[in-house]
Amino acid sequence: MHFLDQAKIFIRSGAGGPGAVSFRREKYVQYGGPDGGNGGKGGDIIFEAVAGLNTLIDFRYAQHFKAMRGVPGSGRDRHGAYGDDLVIEVPVGTQILADDDERSLLLDMTQVGQRVTFLRGGDGGRGNASFKSSTNRAPRQHGVGYPGEEIYVWLRLKLLADAGLVGMPNAGKSTFINQVSNTKAKVGAYPFTTLRPQLGVVSHRSREFVIADIPGLIAGAADGVGIGDRFLGHIERCQILIHLIDAAQDDPVAAWQTVCTELAEYGAGLDEKPQVVALNKGDLLDPELMADISGQLIAAGAVDVISISGATGQGVDQALDRVLAALPAKSGLESSKSDGIGKDGEWSPI
């Protein structure tokens, strides 16, 4: 499945149905009077966040969404039926933005099952029966129904994850996420093997949390160099970052500073999030050299430096321990899995 995290769509709620102009025509009944019914209300546009989706690829092939119009009224005081609401299912973490210069935020879908009426359908028009009065016994006027609302909006997906992996290309992020989860991320001895974000569920110390791997950052990513920084939005909701550094490269300290600069240039508080600085590929260097590089990083301002090897698993548990310490007592994933646990700690059916 292709990954798509931005899409522009057109949405329109249903217009109200027109009211009817009708007069009672029945044998032996004189002056039956008006009996035109009201038109039905148009359908609403509703956004719903559903589980099991992690891409907006469906909106590449369907970009126009229109709710049903209300049914017109008819004689014998029969009101028209309401138009069906149109429910647009989006992944959890989707933001709905206005189609303007600043793309201002209109709605943020952050919880499974969240359901929001975004555009309301137009009300139906009045039938001529509702215009009857003591001075207007045979009204012929009626309402045509109110139009629906329409707007172009942008959908932007920000994946929900507890921890985010950042680093320069070839830092070993894909190897790391493959080591700690069942994700089958592509691994290669060349830069930018990761072209789209990857999600993995990590089980560690009887806890579970979600980790996100994004494409590598290089100098100038904030200005569009390389893949750019467009995927950094997927770690805005993360509570902690795992910053992987290739210990075997020429200048690990400069690599750490480059990524930190790009995080600060992007904004959204990414540079203020706690970091676990993981000095990777420790299996290729001797411990003394790894300790020396760690000291250089600490001298440059890194707070928490751990020597690991994503390929062999050395030091990975220690890095995951630091991540767990920064997370709440229970993540959303764990809470959903423990819904069937009773107060006494035993499982009970729901």
- Give domain limits for the chain: 1-157, 163-337
- Inform me whether the pLDDT recorded for 345 exceeds 70: no
Q: For the chain, how many residues are written?
A: 350
For 96, phi then psi, to 5°, come to -105, 120
**CA–CA dist 20, 129 (Å, integer):** 8
Q: In this predicted structure, what is the pLDDT of residue 114?
A: 95
Calculate mean pLDDT across residues 91-101: 91
* CATH fold label, 163-337: Rossmann fold (3.40.50)
Q: What is the pLDDT of residues 148-195, one digit of tens each?
A: 999 999 999 988 888 989 888 888 888 888 888 887 776 766 566 666
Q: 124, 145 in Cβ contact below 8 A? A: yes
Fold equal for 1-157 and 163-337? no
Q: 307, 290 in Cβ contact below 8 A? A: yes
Q: What is the DSSP string of 224-250?
A: T-TTTTGGGGGGTT-SEEEEEEETTSS
Q: What is the pLDDT of residues 289-335, one digit of tens each?
A: 999 999 999 998 888 889 998 888 899 999 999 999 888 876 444 44
- Inform me whether the pLDDT recorded for 86 exceeds 80: yes
**CA–CA dist 349, 341 (Å, integer):** 8
Calculate mean pLDDT across residues 81-102: 93
Task: Tell me, rounded to whole angstroms, the distance of Cα 199 from its chain centroid.
Answer: 13
Average pLDDT, the chain: 86
Query: Percentage of the chain surpassing pLDDT 90?
Result: 44
Q: In this predicted structure, what is the pLDDT of residue 191?
A: 61
- Inform me whether the pLDDT recorded for 339 exceeds 60: no
Query: Percentage of the chain surpassing pLDDT 70?
Result: 89
Calculate mean pLDDT across residues 82-105: 92
Q: In this predicted structure, what is the pLDDT of residue 188?
A: 64
- Gyration radius of the chain over CA positions: 29
* CATH fold label, 1-157: Spo0b-associated Gtp-binding Protein; Chain: A, (2.70.210)
155 pairs with which residues across the strands?
A: 7, 96
Handedness of CA 49, 55, 56, 58 (dihedral sign): negative
**CA–CA dist 291, 247 (Å, integer):** 10
More confident residue, 234 or 155: 155
Calculate mean pLDDT across residues 274-282: 89
Task: Tell me, rounded to whole angstroms, the distance of Cα 179 from its chain centroid.
Answer: 26
